[in-house]
Structure 1
């Protein structure tokens, strides 16, 4: 068979046909497989991109958390760390600064979270309130449940947005909420929720660490304050002891001199004023001892207006003339049961606080006193926890800087003070409140910023009628032999002179060892021993023990300025018959000696 002349062309056409039929056959056989393979490749690429995205997010979030934790180890304010947390959240690549964020934490109001930090994104709302109440709104739901809340949020006049509300919890208690607003085109997913949970846990740890540090610092501050107060107490007690030793001869020799002078002598009036001043100084020492918590507090019928008048005299000499003192004290026959020293402490503390509120600008300090009657209705109005009855109201007001409500809520808290480091311990008003409560009263405070402050102290009146102090009869004398021991020579000589003027035979010593040696040879002739407590070599208590070994029934009087080693109760345990505090009034000393001698056995 022969081919046509154009066989080459025919052959090419045939070959093309055969190839076309082969390609079509191959396409029909392998195309589904190729398509499936292509889909698998596309899916693999998508998964790889997702894993890369997740790795990038994980790296960014972990890097952020590490940075946040690292900065928390530095001495930064908590405010700075909270700002850093919000800035870091909104700076992530998948947010690209398109969101808004706010952070709420516990505040002064119980059960309410307050807005602490805010970052406002363009075109997006931040938190629409400055406080969160558990159970209200999305943030409130997160606070109440302790679980993350995510939702699309639609509010009138506010662009639609998506919300994350992430609770910050410590020991299953919600202490804060992070609120994040995102654009509507941002998809909410579980991976972001896990990341936000990690941020919330990290912030919870940081906040807890700050709280522990603050509590530690506060405890250390309180301990330091207590150590200062303890040191001041020891110092004042020592000063009181030395001051009593100085007052004793001043008071004693003045009284002896009055006995030697005729009443017509003009010097008598001078010495009477010395005695009066010494007695007032004696009361001042008792106030010092009360401050150092070494004095005894005794409630007695008291005319409050007398105490206030005396305190105002003292204040006028200590407060600068730029501050005017207005006396609105009404003299009254009403009586309160109170400790004189503690009431004086209340007046001085309130007036000193008022002065310090005006010391830079000057102003007016007004002190008033009046009697009112409170019934059940007025007690409710004043919001005082008082029983109905008559009360004396001490009012101390100033025209100083005043206080806001936050400060007023804490003024009676121990160690709380608005003064600088060297101006106050924060204990003054807490001590005042304690004293007033112990006296059955209460305190009412009114203040406004820039409008000054007024304290009203309510103290209950009593029906006790105060008798005038009777003039004590001169103490009787005697002829017994008395041994006096005091390491202060002036005091030993003074007591010897007082007792000698009453007819007693007195032998005085300034050292315990000399007194003990003399007593060994003369014990039968001694009827009474008067000794100081704090003496070098041998204390009064130790001396008393040795004297009783020599003469078991010898009566003894302990006479001391102040000692933290002994008081009236302890003195009886050491065998002392009576206990006297210096400085001693002559009539008191002689009367005590006579009473002890008259009541001795046999």
Structure 2
């Protein structure tokens, strides 16, 4: 009878050599790298994934000593952990980043009868997911902190603006009373300058902390950039030399002012943090440019038209081409862990894209970096408020009955004195409830109501609505430390209500009162640049 071939049906026995071959062939399909080491560190087997990971062919490895063929190739820690696993005859598990491959590996070393089996699992994607989750959690915490900061800033601004209103108001009245040659005038002018500066700082902090809730509108970019730089100066290290070159007075763009400020602050902060040891030169510029043909930049393309070019240049470390290509990716950062989220430039990109602009980046290692943001220029903006025209309509008061309500006694005394000096008959209340009671009982003749917005028990809008139940046509001026969109919308709906930034009471309250007593005539508003309410 003819000799039968060996059976390979399920359950049939297989020669040891055939079994090893089948296992080896199967391991070549595994995507994780595998190596089998004998007790004497001779390499007995490697799979295809191991060949790819090390860049070595198995023919050059099998039968050779590991320490002579692959020392350090799989990472310094592997050398330590593999020796420990071989000597202790216990499994070892650890994670290590391989700089040569730019990958994370989970390494598992298992002692076996013949020696040691080591499995290298590529966990780079898992690590990336973990880092992304951590970054998202950190971003959420930062967002929550910013929301808390906005709430805190609003409360602090209310108290601080009351103090500023009193300081600026009394300083202004003193300057009006002091003779021209008085030596005290210089001191009062310094007090007023300091108060003006404090007022600007508070408004900038509020605008940045509260973020943007405004619709896009036409704005001149130069004042927005100047405000941003003013806020930047307070945080810039003394070792950074800042130079500014702002032109482009005709650069009017349809923008959100708070987002423009965020772009400037993010770019400038990144710039000085890229300087070695925080020492260097930061240059900010703004000018108008015109493109005759479509242009493509690092991020985005622009059509042939006029643009405002905002540039931020530093003489810091600079970046390689590979880094520059990834700059605007979310969570990409070159900063040490814990010192950056990788979201700043991603946010800048989103803002510029939403405004129809583009960003160009020029950088090289050791030669600094230049960011240039291009925003499309539109027609002229609305005319600014003409305070001179406003003052021309403010004739001196003739004893008109004005009621003023504010729970802060310092501001109450200052505004009462200011209005009396302007010729008005003023009744001042520290409590909205007391004011409302006198109005309802007919004890408070009123031609104009001026009230603070933030008061305990009843805010200014609620008081105005309650007063109008008795005096439906009385005009109202509401003063507040922060003019929010909700307040202005509510004032518009109510009609005959003007909103004034409280710390500008000395400069504008008397003039605005004159307009209010005339029923906010539209022609007067058009003369001054205000809009009728």
Q: Same fold (TM over 0.5)?
A: yes
Aligned residues of 2:313 and 2:370 also touching (Cα < 8 A): yes
**CA contact 2:297–2:359 (8 Å) conserved in 1:** no
Work out the CA distance in 2 between the residues paired with 1:461 and 1:46. 78
Deviation at 1:102, TM superposition (A): 2.9
CA contact (8 A) 2:204 2:227 kept: no
Equivalent in the alignment of 2:33: 86
Q: Is the 8 A contact 1:532 1:540 kept in 2?
A: yes
1:224 maps to 141
TM norm structure 2: 0.69
Matched, 1:242 2:206: no
Q: Would you say 1:548 and 2:468 are equivalent positions? A: yes
Rg bigger for which structure? 1
Within-5 A mapping of 1:393-412: 393-412=309-328
Give the conservation status (yes or no) of the 8 Å contact 2:296–2:302: no
Answer whether contact 2:496 2:519 (CA < 8 A) is retained.
no
2:481 paired residue number = 561
Q: 1:527 and 1:423 mapped to 2: Cα distance?
A: 58
Q: Please tell me whether residue 454 in structure 1 is matched to residue 366 in structure 2.
A: no
2:499 alignment partner, SS class:
strand
Q: Does residue 373 in structure 1 map to residue 373 in structure 2?
A: no
Give me the whole-angstrom Cα distance separating, in 2, the residues matched to 1:564 and 1:222.
25
Report whether the alignment pairs 1:419 with 2:335: yes
Q: How far off is 1:340 after superposition?
A: 5.7
Alpha-carbon distance, 1:478 to partner? 3.6
Residue of 118, 140, 154 corresponding to 2:54:
118
Aligned residues of 1:335 and 1:465 also touching (Cα < 8 A) = no
Aligned position for 2:14? 50
Query: Do residues 350 (structure 1) and 267 (structure 2) align?
Result: yes
Contact 1:100–1:121 (CA under 8 A) maintained in structure 2: no
* Native 8 Å contact 2:243 2:284 kept in 1: yes
Aligned-pair CA distance for 1:259: 2.3
Q: Aligned in 2, Cα 1:587/1:41: closer, same or farther, shift over 3 Å?
A: closer
- Alpha-carbon distance, 1:532 to partner: 1.8
* Root-mean-square deviation over aligned CA pairs: 4.6
Q: 1:115-144, CA deviations, whole angstroms, 9 ceiling, x for partnerless residues?
A: 7x3363443599xxxxxxxxxxxxxxxxxx
Q: Quote the residue 1:444 is aligned against.
A: 360
Q: Could you tell me how far apart the structure 2 residues matched to 1:574 and 1:102 are?
A: 74
> Could you tell me how far apart the structure 2 residues matched to 1:464 and 1:60 are?
76
Deviation sequence 1:521-552 (CA, Å, 0-9, x none): 33561222222222223333333343334444
Q: Deviations over 1:489-509 (max 9, x none)?
A: 111222212211121111112
Displacement of 1:445 in angstroms is: 0.9
Residue 505 in 1 paired to residue 425 in 2? Answer: yes
CA separation in 1, counterparts of 2:36 and 2:505? 79
Q: Paired residue for 1:302?
A: 220
Distance 1:500 1:334, change over 3 A: same
- Take 1:564 and 1:579, find their aligned partners in 2: how far apart are those partners? 10
How far apart, CA to CA, are the structure 2 residues paired with 1:539 and 1:381? 51
Task: Figure out how many residues of one structure are paired with residues of the other and give that number.
Answer: 455
Specify whether residues 465 and 225 from structure 1 end up closer, same or farther in structure 2 by C-alpha distance, changes over 3 A only.
closer
The 3-state SS of whatever aligns with 1:483 is strand
Q: Secondary structure at the match of 2:206?
A: helix
Residues 535-591 of structure 1: CA deviation (Å, up to 9, x unaligned): 223333333343334444433322221387941112344676222222224342122
CA offsets 1:273-319 (integer angstroms, 9 cap, x no match) = 54444444434333223212266477455373x66667667756654
